[in-house]
Amino acid sequence: MKTLQVDLGPRSYPISIGSSLLGRTELFSPHVTGRQVMIVTNPTVSSLYLKRLRPALANYTVQVHEFPDGEEYKTLEQLLPLFDQLLTAQFERRCTLIALGGGVVGDMTGFAAACYQRGVPFIQVPTTLLAQVDSSVGGKTGVNHPRGKNMIGAFYQPQAVIIDTDTLQTLDDRQFSAGLAEVVKYGLIRDAPFFDWLETQASALMKRDPGALSIAIARSCEIKADVVAQDEREGGLRAILNLGHTFGHAVETAMGYGTVLHGEAVAIGTVLAARMSLQLGGVTPQDLDRLLILFQRMNLPTQLPSQLTADTLLSLMQLDKKVEQGQIRLVLLKQLGEAMISNDYPADLLSQILTVSL
């Protein structure tokens, strides 16, 4: 088992990464406040992993709440039944919520924990690759709005993140690949040698080799924890974690939540960001080729869905949280392994890139 620390002063917390962690009481107990525990999950994850988690919580009064499975249910309305159950069961301020599932479960549970009685503790137990390397770490919680992704939410840190890598063995192929898009992102924005390593390990990762997976997850979490520790509330640096996301969110919103997976949209968006960076002299044509090949080996899409239009995407990007004074701030690559945030690019380059990519 590997343990990392997210350093945020009084809000610091550990990330544990390893095999067979779900049932281990000693990983959970130090982070559970009070006697009441609400495990929040979805039907798919529940049927696979609830039984493994239960022994770790044998000493608590445990209830289970299931959200419907899928990004299209990541809404404010879906939180209401959870609040109902918490109040009906008389859950006190000294209770703990445990998010057992992927990014949707984690984001929604975290936001519910931020709001219930103005804030109760919660623990992230991510079961998808995407949640393990990205959404469970860093305290971004929230729900979608028909007009934009994650538009309603809170910065709210968990008490601990417990990553049982065994859960990846049952993850469906599409979801697994979607998670790899975020892993590749960390190499691109912050660690060129990690990108090189991912190229050499692409086959092993696609075969879900436990050793390769553990290394990839740990390095991803390490980079994320380091960035978040420097800029918890996204005043500056943290925005680099959104490489491909401004494009990606627009694709997700335009296609309808749940049609394109978040990681797939990020892969498409990352390619667009790389194409823009190429035009601006940030990466080489060879870098772009390496990225396209790596994503293809990971079964990730690299092209915009052809039914979209550049105008639709542009107007959705205008709505993104990264817009300031009407100008879309983009995460671009200074070089492979180094990101930069820019709103200083030719005005027509963005729509040109979108148009030629369709």
Amino acid at 283: V
Torsion sign over Cα 9, 11, 17, 21: positive
* Residue 63 interacting with its own copies (CB under 8 A): no
Q: Are 150 and 140 in contact (CB under 8 A)?
A: yes
Q: Are 79 and 104 in contact (CB under 8 A)?
A: no
**Is 24 marked active-site?**
no
How near is the Cβ of 145 to its own copies at its closest, in Å?
6
Q: Are 17 and 218 in contact (CB under 8 A)?
A: yes
| Candidate segments 51-59, 240-248, 314-322, 330-338, binder of its own copies by CB under 8 A | 314-322
How near is the Cβ of 95 to its own copies at its closest, in Å?
11
**Closer to its own copies by Cβ: residue 47 or 61:** 61
Give the DSSP letter string of 252-275: HHHH-BTTB-HHHHHHHHHHHHHH
Member of 18, 142, 269, 337 binding its own copies (CB under 8 A): 142
Contact flags string 8-37 toward its own copies, x per CB under 8 A: --------------------------xx--
**Is 145 marked active-site?**
no
Torsion sign over Cα 121, 125, 128, 129: positive
| Candidate segments 152-160, 212-220, 270-278, 281-289, binder of its own copies by CB under 8 A | 152-160
By CB under 8 A, what part of segment 270-299 binds its own copies? none
What does the alpha-carbon distance between residue 356 and residue 352 come to, in Å, rounded to a whole number? 6
By CB under 8 A, what part of segment 215-234 binds its own copies? 233
Q: Are 128 and 103 in contact (CB under 8 A)?
A: yes
Instruction: Return the SS3 of 178.
Output: helix
**Is 234 marked active-site?**
yes
C-alpha dist (Å) from residue 63 to 28, 98, 117, 138, 199? 16, 10, 18, 26, 43
Contact flags string 74-113 toward its own copies, x per CB under 8 A: --x--xx--xx--xx-x-xxx-------------------
Say if strands 13-18 and 2-6 run parallel, antiparallel, or are unpaired: antiparallel
Catalytic residues: 118, 140, 182, 224, 234, 238, 242, 245, 249, 262
Q: Which residues of the chain form contacts with its own copies (CB under 8 A)? A: 34-35, 76, 79-80, 83-84, 87-88, 90, 92-94, 114-119, 140, 142, 145, 147-148, 150-155, 233, 318-319, 321, 323-325
